[in-house]
Chain A
Amino acid sequence: MDPLKSISAIAASGMHAQGVRLKVTAENVANAGSTGNTPGEDPYRRKMVSFSEMVDRANGNSMVEVGAIDRDDSAFPVKYDPVHPAADERGYVRTSNVSSIIEMNNMREASRSYEANINMFDAGRRMRRQMLDLLK
């Protein structure tokens, strides 16, 4: 396959992966305050994405692939709120294990990486145009 064409496909796979990461981050942020409704119920558990390298067998391009979306197994923080419906007998409520600082970081990094992939896409397009301009 023409390398200049491959660039678009590779950059697109990178953009897709970063898009999924941003989506998962948005889910985490949106659910940062989600608790259970009854004392025994678990609050929202933070989601995590993992990336891996995926070699396209048809042309040998190494793309990026989003693996399974895992849950963060760390312990839930607790806060004291006796009137909450999910409070246990001592008055503590378990809250989701989403850390807003980590999510903010993730968001920034995902959008920066997305931008880097767009730039590669653009660079490939420019090169192709220069090549096609030779036919004029």
Chain B
Amino acid sequence: MIHIHSNLEKTLNMDSLSFFNLASKRMAWLAETQRVVAENVANADTPGFKARTTEGFDKMLSDGAQAHLKVSHPGHIAGTQTTTVGVEEDANAWSTSPNGNTVALEQQTIKANEINENYQLAASLYRKGHELVRLAATGVR
């Protein structure tokens, strides 16, 4: 059993940049982006509120690779892999109302739907990956 497991690890390359890690990072990023959209919608009528958005997924990936602490001694504590996503003002906000609010509900709705679809995609990919592992381990679909 242990032998099979180590073989699997080699073939599927289950290290820090493995498929599962990537899919779950993608889902974490999408969830955070959706949270920011929810903030925008809740504050759609707040005077002076500027629409926000998260930094790109690519930025999160490159930052995460740098922030990960290397463990060179068994006694070291591995750095916690926090997935922090930067939030910034949305430079592409559609509108500015007279009270300084830049949230356009239409734009946020489109974004929310897009995020939902991408989340579904990431979740399906995750599931498929899991099915592949199960197929490799048991031979039964």
Contact = CB atoms under 8 A, between A and B. Distances in A.
B112 interface: yes
B46 A64 contact: yes
A7 B115 CA distance: 13
Contacts of B31: 2-4, 127
Interface in B93-116: 105, 108-109, 112-113, 115-116
Contact of B38 (A10, A18, A50, A126): A10
A13 B45 CA distance: 13
B39 A116 contact: no
B123 A6 contact: no
Contact of B120 (A4, A10, A124, A130): A130
B105 A14 contact: no
The interface residues of chain A, by DSSP majority, are classed as helix
Contacts of B119: 127, 130-131
Interface residues of B, number: 31
Contacts of A127: 30-31, 34, 115-116, 119
B123 A64 contact: no
B134 to A, nearest CB: 13
A21 B34 CA distance: 25
A50 B47 contact: yes
Contacts of A63: 39, 42
B32 interface: yes
Nearest to A126: B116
A62 interface: yes
Contact of A116 (B34, B49, B105): B105
Contacts of A37: none
A112 B39 contact: no
Given A119-B109, A134-B127, 16 more contacts: A3-B31, A4-B34, A6-B35, A11-B42, A14-B38, A21-B45, A51-B45, A52-B46, A63-B39, A63-B42, A64-B45, A119-B41, A127-B116, A130-B119, A130-B123, A131-B123
The 8 closest A-B pairs by CB, nearest first: A14-B42, A3-B35, A3-B31, A10-B38, A7-B38, A51-B46, A130-B123, A120-B38
26 contacts: A7-B38, A10-B42, A11-B41, A14-B42, A18-B45, A51-B45, A52-B47, A53-B43, A53-B49, A62-B43, A63-B39, A64-B42, A64-B43, A64-B45, A113-B44, A113-B105, A117-B41, A119-B109, A120-B37, A123-B34, A123-B112, A123-B116, A127-B34, A130-B119, A131-B27, A134-B126
